[in-house]
Structure 1
Amino acid sequence: MSSSFAEITDVVDLCLSDGNLNPNARGYTRRPLHRTNLAGWGRNKRWEYWGIVTPRYVLGMTISSLDYASVNQFYLLDRETGKEVEIASTVPLGRKVTLPDTLPPFTARATTKKVVLSFADTAEATTIRASVAGIDVDLRAEAGEDSLGVVVPWSSRLFQYTLKDLARVVTGSITVDGVRYDLPAKQSWAVLDRGRGRWPYSATWNWGAGSGIVKRKKVGLQLGGGWTVGTGSTENALFVDGHLDYIPNELGWTFDGNDFMQPWTVVGDRVNVTLTPFHVRNATTNALIVSGETHQAFGEWTGWVRRSSGKEISVDGLVGWAEVAANRW
C-alpha cells in the first residue's frame, strides 16, 4: 500500500482548538514543523528516546509522560561482555519530567530517585546526559540536516506525531564504575525518536533504524510497520548525506518470534534489507495500567534501498536495530 501523504513545508498546529487532529497537520516533513499543542488529560503520550550504538556500548534512554504516569528508562549493553544494565523509574501522574510541546530547540528532563536524564538542544547539537547507579553519560549528538516528521492519524481523536532523526554523529564519554570510555570519532551514531500524540490503549509496532558510512556517504535507514497500516501514513525513509528520501509504501516484516537472534528482513517495492543481530534486548513492563513487551535486536544491516530517482543505495554495514513492541498504556 502506498501513502498519498503530502510534504508539509510550513509550521502547523497538530491539534485544533477542540483538541482534535488538525487536518492540515496530516503529512510528512523534513524538519520539525509541528507544534504539538495537545489538549486534555488521560490519553496523551509524550516521549523523547535516544538510541546510541558505539563499538563498545549500546545505549537506550527514554523520558516519557503518559499523563497518568511518567515512565523513564535507561539501558546499557556492554558489547564486549554482553552485560546489560536496565533501570526504569515509573512516577504517578507524569511528575518529575519536562517534555515541551513547543518546536525545538528545547530541553527534556527526568529527575527521579533512580534515573536522571537530560536532553538539551541547541542549533548545533543535543547534549545527552544521564546519571544512574554507577554510570555517567555525557554525550554530544551533532545536529543533522533532514529528519522525518510524520503524523499517523487513526481518527480525529487518536493520532500520533513522530519525529525520527537518524545518523547523528555522537561524541563524548560513558563512565561505568569509574572507568571512562571515550566514543571513537565517526564510529558512534545516535538516533532520536520523538513522540507526541493520543494513542489507543493497545498498540503494536515494528521499528528499524540504521546509521553509518557506506561508500564514503553517511546513510541513515528508518523503517516502521504495523501501527501505521490503514492510516495512509508510513514512517519509512532513507537518508543520504543528510537528505531525506521518503518511502510512502508499507513494508513487509519477517522475523522469528521464537528466536529473535535469527535475521530480520524488511521488504517492499523499494526496500530489501536484512538485520543480522549480535544481541537481543528483551524488556517487559508491568505497572498496573501500563504494561508492555519489547524485543529489540541490535545488529548490522545489509541490502539495498531504492531512491525515488531509481538509484539503489547499499545499506551494507549500517549499525542499528529492529524491534517488535506491544504496549497497553
Structure 2
Amino acid sequence: MKTLIKKRKKLCCENGNLNLETIGYEKYPHIISNLKGIRKKRFNFWTVKNDIFLFSIAIVDVDYTGKGILFFYDRVRKEYFEEVIEVPFAKNFKLSEFVYGNSSMKKGEYQISNEYIRNNAILKADTKKFKVDIEVKYPENVESLNLIVPWNNKKFHFTSKQNCLPAMGRINIEGRIYSFHIKNTLASFDYGRGIWPYKTFWNWASFSGFKDGEKFGINLGYGWTKGSGVNENCVFYDNKMYKLNDEVEFIYDKLDKEVIIKSSEVDIVFKTEYIREEKTNVVVLKSNLKQAIGSFSGIIKFKNKEIEFKDIFGIIEEHKARW
C-alpha cells in the first residue's frame, strides 16, 4: 500500500471513474470527493465521549434517502436516548466534498450541522429531543487515517478516520443538560464518500481514550475492504497515526454479548453494555445496522510498542446492506 503525495487530488475522473492516482493512504486529508452519478454513499459520523457518556451525531446521504441520527448513552444510569430523522432522497442535505468542509441537513424546523471554524469543528443540532452545541479542537499537526478503498474503477470509497480529538460542550435532551469538559472528553470523526458494491457487510470498532496520560485510540474494520487490497486498521497515540498491516478477525456469536478482535498485532475483548439497531427498507435499499456500545480491553502492538489497556469506552458495528 503506497502513501499518497501530500497535495489535493480529486477522487474521480471526469467520467466518474476512480482517479487511480489517489489509491493508497496518507496521514492528512487531501482528497476532494467529487462523486458523480447515482448510488453515492456520503456520511459524517461523529462520536463524543468521556468515561460516562457517549454521544453520536451523524448526517447520512445514500441518494435514495437521507438520515440525521442522534443517540446518547449514560453508562452509569443505563439510560439511552435516540432520534432518527429520515428524509426521502436526502432533500436539503449538504455534504462537503472535502473533509474540513461544512455539512448540514434540514427537515422543517429540525437541523443538524458540522461546521469548521479555524482549527475547530462545531457540531450543532436543534431537533425535537436534542439541542446540541459541541466544539471539537484539532491539535496542531494531528494525524488521521485517510484511505482510498478501490474495489474497481467504478466502485470505490474514500474514508477519513480521526480519533482522540479534544472536545467540550453540552447537550440538552428533553430539558436535561449533559456537559462535556475538555480535560476528559474526546471525539472521533468518520468521514465517508464513495460508490459502493450493491451488497455490503462490515464489522467496525472504534474508541478514543487515555493510556498513561496520552491520548490513545483505535480504528479496526473487517469485511467491507475485502478484495480491495487495503484495510482500515490503525492506532492513534499521542496525536500520531500508526497503520497496522494485518487484517483483523471479529469473533462473536451475537453482538449483544462479547466480541473478540484478533490479529498478530491485536488481541482485544469487547463487552457490550447497550445495543441499538437501525433498519432501512426502501425498495432498492435494505440495511440492517447494529451498533454495540461498551468497553474495550486488551493488547495492541505497533512500532515496537505494546500497549495493554482496560475498559475504554467505544463502539462496535455490524452492518449488512443491499444498496
Q: 2:83 is aligned with what amino acid?
A: I
- The amino acid across from 2:42 in the alignment is R
Partner of 1:128: 123
Q: Which one of 210, 219, 227 corresponds to residue 222 of structure 1?
A: 219
Q: Which residue of 1 aligns with 2:168?
A: 171
Identity %: 27
In structure 1, the residue corresponding to 2:310 is in which secondary structure? coil
User: What are the superposed Cα offsets for residues 238-296 of structure 1, whole Å, 9 maximum, x if unpaired?
Assistant: 01111010113211111222xx2322111112111121222112222233333211221
Match of 1:261 in 2: 256
Question: Where do residues 150-169 of structure 1 align in structure 2 (5 Å cutoff)?
Answer: 150-169=147-166
Q: CA deviation at 1:167?
A: 1.2
SS at match of 2:15: coil
Partner in structure 2 of residue 77 of structure 1: 73
TM-score by length of structure 1 reads 0.92
**2:28 counterpart of 1:31:** yes
Going from structure 1 to structure 2, the CA distance change for 1:57 and 1:311 (only over 3 Å counts) comes to closer
Query: How many pairs align?
Result: 321
Question: In structure 1, what is the Cα distance between the partners aligned to 2:129 and 2:317?
Answer: 28
Of 294, 306, 316, the match for 1:322: 316
Contact 1:166-1:190 at 8 Å conserved across structures? yes
Q: CA deviation at 1:104?
A: 4.1
Give the equivalent residue in structure 2 for 1:299. Answer: 294
Matched, 1:89 2:85: yes
Distance 2:5 2:307 in 1: 25
Q: Which runs of 5+ in 1 are unaligned?
A: none
Say whether residues 1:312 and 2:306 are aligned partners.
yes
Measured against aligned partners, the alpha-carbon deviations of 1:203-222 in whole angstroms (never above 9, x if no partner) come to: 11111001111011110111
Q: Secondary structure of 2:21's partner?
A: helix
| Aligned CA-pair RMSD | 1.8
In 2: Cα distance, 1:141 partner to 1:116 partner: 19
Change (3 A) 1:274 1:89: same
Report SS of the residue matched to 1:316: strand
Q: Distance in 1 between matches of 2:76 and 2:161?
A: 28
Residue 68 of structure 1 is matched in structure 2 by: 64
Taking structure 2 as the reference length, what is the TM-score of the superposition? Answer: 0.93
Residue 114 (structure 1) shift: 7.3
Q: Secondary structure at the match of 2:123?
A: strand
User: Could you tell me which amino acid in structure 2 is paired with residue 322 of structure 1?
Assistant: I
Question: Is the Cα contact below 8 Å between 1:5 and 1:233 reproduced in 2?
Answer: no
Alignment partner of 1:24: what SS? Answer: helix
Letter in 2 for 1:119: N
Q: 2:99 touches 2:191 (CA, 8 Å); kept in 1?
A: no
Distance 1:104 1:285 in 2: 26
Instruction: Provide structure 2 residue ranges, at least 5 long, that are not aligned to the other structure.
Output: none
SS of match in other structure, 1:317: strand
